[in-house]
Amino acid sequence: NAGVTQTPKFQVLKTGQSMTLQCAQDMNHEYMSWYRQDPGMGLRLIHYSVGAGITDQGEVPNGYNVSRSTTEDFPLRLLSAAPSQTSVYFCASSYGGFDEQYFGPGTRLTVT
């Protein structure tokens, strides 16, 4: 089991560029989420999914899009990168909504 994988580990973008952060899990988990981590603010939920084809917004969804076409994959798209999106991004998955969430290793994104 690879668990939750994220690519890339590091990324530098220029303002206005778009990109997709990849997330995959091989545990057959229904629940998947994207968080961003900023100093002094903990982790904040961007978008989440309770199953293939079902997504919803979290606390800070603006500037991000998601889709969930398969159980395994949950990509996060930045439409037009802004310096405010400089952060560390974590993908997580869980079997049920109340269960332990398994986190990927994170992606450090810098927008200049």
Which residue, 32, 57, 31, is CA-closest to 46? 57
Task: Report the SS3 class of residue 43.
Answer: strand
> Least distance in Å: CB of 39 to other proteins?
9
Structure tokens at 74: 């949950």
Q: Rounded CA gap, 5 and 91, in Å?
A: 8
73 near other proteins, rule: CB under 8 A: no
What are the CA-CA distances from residue 6 to residues 16, 22, 27, 98 (Å)? 23, 6, 14, 23
Q: Which of 19, 27, 50, 82 binds other proteins (CB under 8 A)?
A: 50
Candidates 94, 109, 110, 112; binder of other proteins (CB under 8 A) is 94
Q: How far is the CB of 80 from other proteins (least distance, A)?
A: 26
Quick check: 86 binds other proteins (CB under 8 A)?
Answer: no
Q: Please, what sign has the CA dihedral across residues 63, 81, 88, 20?
A: positive
* Contact flag: residue 103 with other proteins (CB under 8 A): yes
Under a CB-based contact definition with an 8 Å cutoff, are residues 109 and 6 in contact?
A: no
Q: Residue 40 CB, nearest distance to other proteins (Å)?
A: 6
The residue ranges that bind other proteins (CB under 8 A) are 31-33, 35, 40-45, 48, 50, 56, 58-59, 88, 90, 92, 94, 96-98, 100-101, 103, 105-106
